[in-house]
């Protein structure tokens, strides 16, 4: 994540893995707080007792990729990189996990309710005193947001991932779906080792290469890591203070707006044009004139009301609707998923003592990978280009679906259900 241009790339491609299990309970030392520790990428669930069998990787092809990587990126450090890559084999489980990131495959409600659970919120409240006061003062990011990220990324440090970061990134680069990004992150991971910032045995993280308590990618670690403890090293694995300050620095550099929240649940009026969702941004006055109201009443504060905001329908017209303010998109610079950003924001709201949602989430079935890819392929074949066929139902796929819905006289909420995916696949033949 090189902030600005590379930061957005990282969060959109690197982050997002399975929901973390709840962290172990802690004694009730309750302090008010606000969530949002944004760090960088996916953290795996604890390994299943009987993991699925993965197809053996092409070792000869991997060796060919490795030599190409060394030629492209080795430079003066080729010998050191070659030493660290010696004997490495690709990890098939990394490729499997990359294809099934839950932020993009599970219905938003299932993901958010699991992430922003009452248990996680209670655990977050019990940890707000772990965020150094000078961190929130310096970076302007609320305690609740940092604690929320901490909880959702690693179960408050309990589950940081035990994958070899170098091997994971080499596997993703070899796989090729996100080669340029993965090779850049791999080079940074190798530099961390070669420069002596972290020994290779300790460079552990998620299947996607995210590291530490707030799951930083190697580039973000090098550019944005903070030695808050003052011991001369950035230890996002063992130091709560370093991990949380690093997350705060990332969010601040990404444009966090102090004094503003991430968004609000809203009620849409009868006859609302759902095609406006995820469309142009407008200040609160625009939305209020169209009959949009905050679900809990009132109005955004003065600064928020002037911001350009977007209406989000993460589970279509039948689910909750949200007014997304700029800080929502800052969270998505950490992980470019609507579901992820909502989970962080709603967990933070709970930690801060705010009430839950007014609307309920529909109980929709998850989409299989075949359905997701099939729907993307069908939309593109029918003349509604999804800008890629990768099984990730992101903004481009939702926009293409919305165009198809408009063209076919459907309610244009851009929400892909299992039934609609099957219909699209049938229509495309």
Whole-angstrom CA distances from 110 to 44, 114, 222, 360, 364 are 17, 6, 34, 11, 9
Query: Three-state DSSP class for 420?
Result: helix
Nearest to 306 by CA among 259, 344, 370: 259
> Is residue 207 within 8 Å of residue 161, measured between CB atoms?
yes
What is the enclosing helix (H) or strand (E) of 194? helix 179-194
CA atoms within 13 A on the CB side of 232: 1
d(CA 317, CA 336): 22
**pLDDT (0 to 100) of residue 102:** 60
Q: CB pairs under 8 A, 24+ apart, for 379-382?
A: 379/404, 379/424, 379/428, 381/428, 381/429, 382/424, 382/427, 382/428
For the stretch 210-268, pLDDT in tens is 999 999 999 999 999 999 999 999 999 999 999 999 999 999 999 999 999 999 999 99
> Is residue 116 within 8 Å of residue 350, measured between CB atoms?
yes
Encoded tokens for 123:
């655990």
**pLDDT (0 to 100) of residue 336:** 87
d(CA 282, CA 293): 14
For residue 150, pLDDT beyond 80: yes
**pLDDT (0 to 100) of residue 66:** 96
Percent of the chain whose pLDDT exceeds 90? 79
d(CA 27, CA 151): 16
**pLDDT (0 to 100) of residue 146:** 98
Encoded tokens for 206:
């998620």
**pLDDT (0 to 100) of residue 170:** 98
Q: In which residue are the tokens 């590291």 written? A: 211
d(CA 63, CA 68): 9
The torsion region of residue 88 among left (phi > 0), alpha (psi -120 to 50) and beta comes to: beta
For the stretch 403-429, pLDDT in tens is 999 999 999 999 999 999 999 999 998
Find the mean pLDDT for residues 331-339.
91
What is the enclosing helix (H) or strand (E) of 293? strand 293-294
> Is residue 213 within 8 Å of residue 243, measured between CB atoms?
yes
Find the mean pLDDT for residues 147-160.
97
**pLDDT (0 to 100) of residue 57:** 61
For residue 174, pLDDT beyond 60: yes
d(CA 298, CA 295): 9
Confidence (pTM): 0.83
Q: In which residue are the tokens 């990282």 written? A: 10
What is the enclosing helix (H) or strand (E) of 427? helix 418-427
Q: At what angle do helices 118-125 and 338-351 cross, to 10 degrees?
A: 50
DSSP secondary structure string for all residues of 348-395: HHHHTT----SS----PPPPPHHHHHHHHHHHHHTT---S--SS---H
Give the angle 38-43-45 at the CA atoms, nearest 5°. 140
> Is residue 365 within 8 Å of residue 44, measured between CB atoms?
no
For residue 374, pLDDT beyond 90: yes
For residue 381, pLDDT beyond 50: yes
For the stretch 8-67, pLDDT in tens is 333 333 333 333 333 333 222 222 222 223 344 433 333 333 344 455 568 889 999 999
**pLDDT (0 to 100) of residue 225:** 98
Percent of the chain whose pLDDT exceeds 70? 85
**pLDDT (0 to 100) of residue 43:** 35
Average the pLDDT over each of 5-19, 201-215, 274-288, 356-370 and give the range with the smallest value.
5-19
Q: Rounded to the nearest 5°, which phi and psi values hold at 321?
A: -115, 150
Whole-angstrom CA distances from 279 to 138, 311, 345 are 34, 8, 21
How many DSSP H helices and E strands does the chain contain? 20, 6
For residue 205, pLDDT beyond 50: yes
Length of the chain in residues, anyone? 429
Find the mean pLDDT for residues 181-194.
98
**pLDDT (0 to 100) of residue 390:** 87
d(CA 323, CA 312): 6
Burial 409-427, CB ≥16 within 10 A → b, else e: eeebbbbbbbebbeebbee
> Is residue 112 within 8 Å of residue 346, measured between CB atoms?
yes
Encoded tokens for 290:
């169209």
Mean pLDDT score of the chain: 87
**pLDDT (0 to 100) of residue 394:** 86
> Is residue 251 within 8 Å of residue 220, measured between CB atoms?
no
Find the mean pLDDT for residues 336-349.
96
**pLDDT (0 to 100) of residue 29:** 24
């Amino acid at each position: 994540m090189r902030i600005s241009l590379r930061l957005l790339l990282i969060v959109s491609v690197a982050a997002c893995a399975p929901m973390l299990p709840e962290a172990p309970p802690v004694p009730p030392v309750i302090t008010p707080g606000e969530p949002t520790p944004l760090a960088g990428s996916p953290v795996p669930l604890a390994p299943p007792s009987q993991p699925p069998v993965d197809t053996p990787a092409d070792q000869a092809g991997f060796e060919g990729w490795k030599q190409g990587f060394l030629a492209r990126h080795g430079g003066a450090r080729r010998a050191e990189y070659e030493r660290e890559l010696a004997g490495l084999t690709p990890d098939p489980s990394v490729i499997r996990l990359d294809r099934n990131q839950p932020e993009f495959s599970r219905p938003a409600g299932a993901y958010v309710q699991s992430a922003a659970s009452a248990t996680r919120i209670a655990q977050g409240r019990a940890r707000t005193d772990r965020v150094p006061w000078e961190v929130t003062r310096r970076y302007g990011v609320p305690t609740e947001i940092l604690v929320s990220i901490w909880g959702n990324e690693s179960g408050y440090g309990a589950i940081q991932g035990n994958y070899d970061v170098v091997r994971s990134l080499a596997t993703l680069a070899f796989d090729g779906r996100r080669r340029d990004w993965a090779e850049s992150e791999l080079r940074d991971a190798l530099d961390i080792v070669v420069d002596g910032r972290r020994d290779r045995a300790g460079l552990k993280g998620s299947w996607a290469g995210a590291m530490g308590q707030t799951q930083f990618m190697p580039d973000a670690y090098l550019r944005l890591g903070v030695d808050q403890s003052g011991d001369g090293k950035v230890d996002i694995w063992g130091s709560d203070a370093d991990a949380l300050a690093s997350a705060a620095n990332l969010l601040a550099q990404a444009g966090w707006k102090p004094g503003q929240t991430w968004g609000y649940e809203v009620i849409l009026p009868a006859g609302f044009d759902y095609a406006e969702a995820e469309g142009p941004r407008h200040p609160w006055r625009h939305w209020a004139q169209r009959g949009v109201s905050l679900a809990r009443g009132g109005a955004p504060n003065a600064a928020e009301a002037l911001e350009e905001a977007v209406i989000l329908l993460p589970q279509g017209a039948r689910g909750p609707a949200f007014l997304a303010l700029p800080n929502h998109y800052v969270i998505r610079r950490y992980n470019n998923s609507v579901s992820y950003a909502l989970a962080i924001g709603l967990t933070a709201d709970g930690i801060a003592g705010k009430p839950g949602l007014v609307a309920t989430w529909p109980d929709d079935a998850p989409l299989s990978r075949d359905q997701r890819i099939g729907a993307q392929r069908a939309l593109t074949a029918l003349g509604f280009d999804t800008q890629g066929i990768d099984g990730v139902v992101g903004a481009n796929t939702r926009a293409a679906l919305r165009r198809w819905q408009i063209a076919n006289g459907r309610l244009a909420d851009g929400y892909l259900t299992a039934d609609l995916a099957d219909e699209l696949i049938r229509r495309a033949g």
